[in-house]
Structure 1
Amino acid sequence: MTCARCWRWCLRRWPVLIDGHLDLAMNAADGRDLTLELDALRARDPVLGQRATVSFPELRAAGVRVCLGTLFALPRTPDSPHGYTDHAGARAQALSQLDQYRRWQDAGHLRLLTSRAAVAAHLADAAAPLGVVLLMEGADPVRDADDLPFWHQAGVRLIGPAWGRTRFAGGTDAPGPLTPAGRELVQGMAALGLTLDVSHLDDASFWEAAELGPALVATHANARALVPGNRQLSDDMARAVAQSGGVIGLVCLNRFLRPLPLGSLDRVPPGDLAAHAQHYARLVGWAHVGLGTDLDGGFGAEKTPAGLERYRDVPQLLRALPPEVRAGVAGGHWAHWLTTRL
């Protein structure tokens, strides 16, 4: 049986989740020990005000087989006084997180995956630990386009040029086009076969980048038609991602599911996630809809839909979807993308 047939057989036999966006190393940098059972992690959680939902045992219990794990360098802001202020600082954060993933791999907690064949073989191995494909969220750790081969060799397979504004692009709440360095970055990514994560790109940067021809995904981005703002995808953006063959990951943060004030603790109904999924499906078809929960990505269970108290509750959110599409949204669509386009 070929690897492709193996993983498809496994998806039919076992419930499988693939998450398009988890900030695992960022959480470790914040002092969280993700090797613990979730209740033990919560009992000693150093991150105040965010009730943890993710640990390696918790992901295993939920049935998560693969995720896109981020290298996320945090810039200095009034709320983050120890963030980076230049390329060197951003690079140091990303390299530290890369080392964290490698140490987890050495300890058997995860397996880093860098090719289509590796993902297919991993999905066919039910006893394997969590598989992780590396995604750089915000490209400031990259010196310039000539630095891309270093990161590719290190295992990075997707890059999102922006978070807020970066040296390369306008981003969330920071409108603007690609910078000249950003255009060179995206051209270099296309040449190396690195995928562009458009999740945080401002509209102007998005359309400039799309014209340069890289493969596109949106690892964690909900629909602007339901929640206004440049953090979400417009309908035309969603169509462009789908036309590239990409997948759009659904985010579990309440204010990305329904318009809510920043900091709101109002819990939205679980059906709100299904509403975004159904909106995308009407635009581009179910084959381009997946999960990108972003759980513990700067927020905790208190800012997730009602009933989502820990990661193993994620499958319950899919019950609001038609039964015939649940397996694809849970993991099948990302599995197809990862084994055919990564």
Structure 2
Amino acid sequence: MPDIPFIIDSHLDIGWNASFGRDFYEEIKSSRERVNDGAIYGERLVSLPDLLDSPVRLVIGTIFTLPKRAISVVGEGHSFSNAEEAHTQGMWQIDFYNRVAREQPHVNLIRNRIELNAHLKEINEGTQKLGIMISIEGADPIRQPDELQQWVDKGLRLIGPAWKSNRYCGGTGEPGTLTPLGVELLAEMQRLGVILDVSHMAEESFYNALDAYSGVTIASHSNCRHIINTDRQLSDDMIRCLLERDTVIGVVLYDSFLVAKEEGRKATLEDVVRHISHICELAGHTRAIGLGTDWDGGFGAESIPEPLKSLNDLPLVGEELLKHGFNDNDIRNFYHANWLRVFEKGLAQFD
């Protein structure tokens, strides 16, 4: 097994899960025994005790709000009908992350490079800590671009403008360009130094965004359209555009984003390596790959590649990479070094 000091996961919907009653402080085994919500949201995989017991030491925790029209996509739960409702729900989630960081001695909120480096020092000394950077997935909670400063003051450091389409841009399954309001949002993000996450952006708005925004850009949780031909994945041309920005793409550990539906089978770790390898082949290096599990993002343990069953199984991905010719340095790049490179660059403005 490769020697992996720690893992970074670039996409966990922790705030969303907390908003509909999943107790972030309750370990998974206890939660599954007490609450039977797996049929609606998927068999739960993520909690604070389980993260601390795993090699994961830094995550991007998202603020996600669900458009009412899309309830059937991820099951029943809180949803919004307008920007005011989305704003209220989003503010609850960002306040939740701040409350967790205040109340839990094992959690560090990461808002600048000073806090990132202090967190890294602690975990390198063997301290059991989880760092959280806050992102928005789907910019609906931001009522107008000129209120972005309020979110930044509460610790927001990344924005993925889309989930489905919205007032800002087109998104998964709902094509569309960047709107004039979206152009304003990206300008404000640029001014404040907020990182752009292009995952879920429709292809038209993706290219519009790269033209409008020149700051640090990532794809927190996206796989390869070359293998899974849907608009949720990145085409080779989209990947090449991101590579020009020295970005990182977080590979999603979700069966439906790893194996084409017509294959009619469970995904395996070999399928994960297929997506990683394709990005590396386009790049000619291993500086663009990362992990963005999206676990508990509307699916659960029933829908992740075999033989993974929990956060503690994530090192198995590294073992599979070794079998396919990747070396220890490549695997360190994948697990944390690449994400640290872009996070350090993206957080520089907040020091």
Q: TM-score, normalised by structure 1?
A: 0.92
Identity %: 37
Q: Secondary structure at the match of 2:334?
A: helix
Which residue of structure 1 lines up, in the alignment, with residue 320 of structure 2?
A: 320
CA distance in 1 between counterparts of 2:301 and 2:240 reads: 31
Q: Secondary structure at the match of 1:293?
A: coil
Which residue of structure 2 lines up, in the alignment, with residue 9 of structure 1?
A: none
Of the candidates 38, 42, 53, which is equivalent to residue 28 of structure 2? 38
2:197–2:218 CA contact under 8 A, matched in 1: yes
Residue 232 (1) aligns with residue 237 (2): no
> Matches of residues 80-91 of structure 1 in structure 2 within 5 Å?
80=76, 82-91=78-87
> Unpaired runs of 5+ in structure 1?
1-11
* Cα deviation, residue 139, structure 1: 0.3
> Matches of residues 162-311 of structure 1 in structure 2 within 5 Å?
162-212=162-212, 213-260=214-261, 266-284=265-283, 285-311=285-311
- Cα–Cα, structure 1 residues 37 and 81, in superposed 2: closer, same or farther, change >3 Å? closer
Of the candidates 325, 335, 339, which is equivalent to residue 334 of structure 1? 339
CA distance in 2 between counterparts of 1:233 and 1:316 reads: 25
CA offset digits 1:246-304 (Å, max 9, x no partner)? 2100101101001127xx99421211011100100111221110000001111001011
* Cα deviation, residue 339, structure 1: 2.0
* Cα deviation, residue 117, structure 1: 2.3
Q: What is the total number of aligned residue pairs between the two structures?
A: 329
CA distance in 2 between counterparts of 1:59 and 1:334 reads: 18
1:30–1:47 CA contact under 8 A, matched in 2: no
Stretch moving more, 146-155 or 292-301: 146-155
What amino acid is aligned across from residue 28 of structure 1 in structure 2?
A: A
> Unpaired runs of 5+ in structure 2?
none
Q: Secondary structure at the match of 2:122?
A: coil
Stretch moving more, 111-120 or 80-89: 80-89
CA offset digits 1:179-231 (Å, max 9, x no partner)? 11011111111121111100000010000010012321000000111101111
2:13–2:296 CA contact under 8 A, matched in 1: yes
* Cα deviation, residue 72, structure 1: 0.6
> Matches of residues 59-208 of structure 1 in structure 2 within 5 Å?
59-77=51-69, 78-79=71-72, 80=76, 82-108=78-104, 109-126=106-123, 127=127, 129-208=129-208
- Cα–Cα, structure 1 residues 195 and 316, in superposed 2: closer, same or farther, change >3 Å? same
2:46–2:295 CA contact under 8 A, matched in 1: yes
The runs of at least 4 aligned residues of structure 1 exceeding 6 Å deviation read none
User: What CA RMSD, in Å, does the superposition of the two structures yield over aligned residues?
Assistant: 1.8
1:68–1:132 CA contact under 8 A, matched in 2: yes
2:110–2:131 CA contact under 8 A, matched in 1: yes
Q: TM-score, normalised by structure 2?
A: 0.89
1:16–1:330 CA contact under 8 A, matched in 2: yes
